[in-house]
Amino acid sequence: MTRPETAPVRPGEELPLDALREAMRGHVSGDVDDLSVEQFPGGFSNLTYLVRAGDPARGGQEYVLRRAPLGPVPKGAHDMTREAHLLERIHPVLPVAPRPALIVEDPAVIGSPFYLMERRHGTVVRTRLPAEYRDLPDAARRMSGALADTLADLHAVDIDAAGLREIGKPEGFNARQVAGWAGRWRRAREALRDTGDLPSQADLRDELVIAWLEAHTPPESAHTLVHNDFKLDNLMLDPADPGRVTALLDWEMTTVGDPLVDLGLTLTYWTMPEMPGGAPNEVGAASPGFLGRDELVARYAARAARHVTSDPQAHLAALERALPWYEVLGHFKLAVIVIQIFARYRAGQTSDPRFAPLAGQAEWLIREAWRRIAAQATGA
């Protein structure tokens, strides 16, 4: 049986329907007087809802609403109006990006700025191969290829022709990445200073990871769109064809910078085993039928090379030489994202039980980053 995409709204995360109805009235299609809301239960960050304006079988419309999580959030994070305005510009040049339908910047309406976008339909693959794909030949390999190809296509967008260069500051991007994520890590760790949830800094070696990233920061390999959280479960796939992407989601952190930052984080997710307290991971490089880490890099390189060089093998070799730094950064970034969520959970700003094991996951990611650094030092 296929798992439903949506679920009843979690207690404490309800939307004020009267205020939402009035904000939508006259700005979107569908019967806003017949409004219903469900929640997309996946994800650990922003809150995402399915909003129905009337019965879709009788001309009603469905939208996806995105808003920031409850409670205080880090400055500049979870900026849903920025995400929506980005989608307005990216959708015409990269159709897998959904089209926004309504942007509301006034936090008084539902308690936070939010936007509505068109609803795309498809299958989201998280930690297991969904039932609809289990009998399809090469389903795992086909979705692996779709992941690599979509990332290469994202990086191939002409940021100057699309007027997108101005959304970021590509020069010095990598150094700012390290400084920014290091600052977030330290602030989250300070918030958890007396909880005992993380080992000592000497034991965890988080400051050594930061120092290594700072000392080895490379110049940007290129200037492209950077999604900044590109992973398989941010794709929606055609239920009948796991090789066809129907949507790329979660554009909150999108900017212009070094495309290998995206590839490094994608590989972090792709090569990650089951983490402490997490669900068993049956999707990715270690699972039968999926492209391995090196195969995924080769697939990405082959498609990306069409836009940057006439020598795909030379492009692949250059990628492999550069990638270790970006993969360590990917592990560190994900550790920061995880520990920030856990710190909000510890502070009582959210009660979602899925967040309870995240401190252990952040610890695993930092230790894995350090293991990779040590392996490079020894040539292992």
Q: Which of 133, 157, 181, 139 is nearest to 365 (CA)?
A: 181
If one compares 70 and 161, the residue with the highest pLDDT of the two is 161
- 26-63 burial, b at 16+ Cβ within 10 Å, e below that, comes to eeeebebeebebebbbebbbbbbbbbbbbeeeeebbbb
Q: Report helix, strand or coil for 176.
A: helix
DSSP 273-286: -PPTTPPP--SSTT
Give the per-residue pLDDT at 1: 36
How many residues are present in the chain?
380
Which two structure tokens, joined as six digits, stand for 178? 């390290």
* Short-list 27, 44, 42, 48, CA closest to 114: 48
Token output for 149: 């190809």
Share of the chain above pLDDT 70, in %: 95
Backbone angles phi and psi of 49, in degrees to 5 = -125, 150
Q: Label residue 274 left, alpha or beta by phi (over 0 means left) and psi (-120 to 50 means alpha).
A: beta
- The pLDDT of 350-377, averaged and rounded, is 92
Q: For the whole prediction, is pTM greater than 0.85?
A: yes
Q: What is the average pLDDT value for the chain, to the nearest integer? A: 92
The answer, yes or no, to whether residue 307 has pLDDT greater than 70, is no
Mean pLDDT to the nearest integer, 53-61: 93
Q: What is the pLDDT of residue 94?
A: 97
User: Percent helix, strand and coil across the chain, each rounded to 5?
Assistant: 45, 15, 45
For residue 305, the model assigns a pLDDT of 80
pLDDT digits (tens, 9 = 90+) for 142-183: 999 999 999 999 999 999 999 999 999 999 999 999 999 999
176-206 residue pLDDT tens: 999 999 999 999 999 999 999 999 998 999 9
Q: How confident is the model at residue 54 (pLDDT cuts 50, 70, 90)?
A: very high
Q: Given CA atoms 178, 249, 86, 32 in this order, what sign does their dihedral have? A: negative
Statement: residue 340 has pLDDT above 70: yes
Q: What is the pLDDT of residue 45?
A: 74
46-75 average pLDDT score: 88
Express each pLDDT in 210-260 by its tens digit. 999 999 999 999 999 999 999 999 999 999 999 999 999 999 999 999 999
Cα 286 from Cα 289, distance rounded (Å):
9
| Closest among 227, 192, 193 to 333, alpha carbons compared | 227
User: How confident is the model at residue 74, as a pLDDT?
Assistant: 60
Query: E strand or H helix at 366, and its extent?
Result: helix 358-378
